[in-house]
Chains A and B, each alone.
Chain A
Amino acid sequence: MFDLISGFFRDLYETTGWNFVIFYEQYEWDRFVDAIWVSLYLIVAALFFSVVVGIIGAWAQGSPIRALRLLMAGYIQFFRNTPPYVQLLFFFFVLGNLTPKVDMGGYYEPMISSFGWAVISLSFFAGAFNVEIFRAGIEAVPHSTREAAEALGYTRLQAYIHVILPLAFRVSLPALNNNLVNLVKTSTQAFAIAVPEMLYTLAQVWSDNSNVPEMMIILFIFYVGLVAILVFGMHKWEKNMRIPGYG
């Protein structure tokens, strides 16, 4: 791939001055490819766990245990009302020092890396919104449907998993879609704790090569592409989940 395009982009630079250094210099190319993977892993992991947090949180919110409900309310308030950037720094610098680490002589190998903290922090951030989104979906499921499950012997948890959640999920999809698009964009803030994702990497590239406009273009294309894929997938999913004769 690199060999295929490097010639073209080197010529482009020499003839026009457009410096897409990531496409013709091996070192920068490697950084760029690494950044793609880091960004993708980060986003996919955060998407997944934020949905898991949302599902568990929405269930806990309807729990008969008061302490659990209060805990959820506190969690949502905290994460909804503080900037994700600050959350990342807080997780990494404050909680990061409280977790176990291995002495490597001069530095410590932490149990949770900056990447790990970014996933945790972003999942909890987007998860707080997902809890609210799923709760709205759950409230849209008629009480009588719940009662039918109850009459068939379902426990609260079984009814949640097999009946309420699948229905609530369909109602929640459009709002979930929005929030997950937001999460893709928020993932760039992981650069604050030195996760070598796309923004972090390209910012370093443009500092080293003074090619800010070119790298900005790449950055935009990358995120526009990611969001487009996500939205496409979500719509397809929404379509597949549509129930014949329902809604």
Chain B
Amino acid sequence: MATATGWTPDQPMVSIRDVHKSFGELEVLKGVTLDVMKGEVVCIIGPSGSGKSTLIRCINALNDIQKGSILVEGQEVNDPKLNKLELRKKVGMVFQQYNLFPHKTALQNVMMAPVHVLGQDKAEVEARARTLIRKVRLEGKEDSYPGELSGGQQQRVAIARSLAMNPDVMLFDEVTAALDPETVKEVLVTIRELAEEGMTCILVTHEMGFAREVANHIYFTDRGIIVEHGPPETFFTEASDPRTKEFLSQIL
């Protein structure tokens, strides 16, 4: 299967090359390079302010970059003539603060984008949305407003909302950081199921146990660069860089 950009599934789905990003004087990314293959689950860990959230926000062009290249299925993100809709159809994103639309019910939140943005048939979208809500184990909450749901429930609606667009890759930006400990698990379960189904996932997370269990590959960032990376089985035990060691010793 080759797309219009000539991308084939044996090439990296997301290919990041020497990405530099500054906010004014402050350089947040100082040349980051990484690849994510189709079906891979990649976790990015690192201390706060190391640029990991910025990095995944660059993948769907919520932040622009000053230098380097980001290819998503062969489409160049760092392009002034970027077709944002094409990019965002491929890339779903879930935020730390869920960011649901508070004036719409859970079901409506899931249905909105496919109807408004993709112009899909409402009845067909509704059927799919109900399936997705069941999938994130929220049956019965279809008509609840976000304000009536717990944080974990809201976050699962947000995941369903993102999935409704049928993305090829999902970005998770510290999606459990704002949750109560009891509800963290239910969200992680949902993500793990997604990963097991073969969804390509890029997660920024502090949940080391989860990362170790789910990820195919772990990247450790500090001060705008990738210090060290590897598969979880070796990463957590054989980290060589002192910065990684220090971070892991604090967090594990």
Contacts and interface: CB of A to CB of B under 8 A. Distances in A.
Please give me the 4 A-B residue pairs with the lowest Cβ-Cβ distance, nearest first: A245-B147, A148-B99, A153-B88, A152-B113
A153 B62 contact: no
A154 interface: yes
Interface in B146-179: 146-149, 158, 161-162, 165
A147 B103 contact: no
Nearest to A245: B147
A246 B100 CA distance: 12
B162 A152 contact: yes
Contacts of A148: 95, 99-101, 158
Q: What is the interface residue range for chain A against chain B? A: 20 to 34
Contacts of A162: 112, 116
B102 A153 contact: no
B62 A150 contact: yes
A243 B145 contact: yes
A170 B104 CA distance: 13
B147 A153 contact: no
Interface string A138-154: 00001011011111111
A246 B103 contact: yes
A219 B162 CA distance: 57
B85 interface: yes
B84 interface: yes
Contact of B146 (A147, A163, A246): A246
A149 B165 CA distance: 12
A166 B103 contact: yes
A151 B62 contact: yes
A154 B113 contact: yes
B99 A145 contact: yes
A152 B85 contact: no
8 contacts: A148-B95, A151-B60, A151-B91, A151-B93, A243-B102, A244-B145, A244-B148, A245-B148
A170 B145 CA distance: 16
B146 A158 contact: no
B117 interface: yes
A129 to B, nearest CB: 24
B102 to A, nearest CB: 5
A244 B92 CA distance: 27
B223 interface: no
B129 to A, nearest CB: 13
Contacts of A151: 60, 62, 88, 91-93, 95, 162
A167 interface: yes
Contacts of B85: 153, 155
A163 to B, nearest CB: 6
Contacts of B97: 144
Contact of A245 (B118, B146, B165): B146
A246 B102 contact: yes
Given A148-B101, A152-B88, A243 B147 contact: yes
A158 B117 contact: yes
B103 A153 contact: no
Given A148-B99, A166-B103, A170-B103, A154 B116 contact: yes
B212 interface: no
A144 B158 CA distance: 13
Given A145-B101, A244-B145, 16 more contacts: A144-B95, A147-B99, A149-B101, A150-B88, A151-B93, A151-B162, A152-B88, A152-B112, A154-B116, A162-B112, A166-B103, A167-B102, A243-B147, A245-B145, A245-B148, A246-B145
Interface in A39-60: none
Interface string A164-185: 0011001000000000000000
B16 to A, nearest CB: 18
B101 A163 contact: yes
B89 interface: yes
Nearest to B84: A153
Interface string B77-119: 0000000110011011101010111110000000011001110
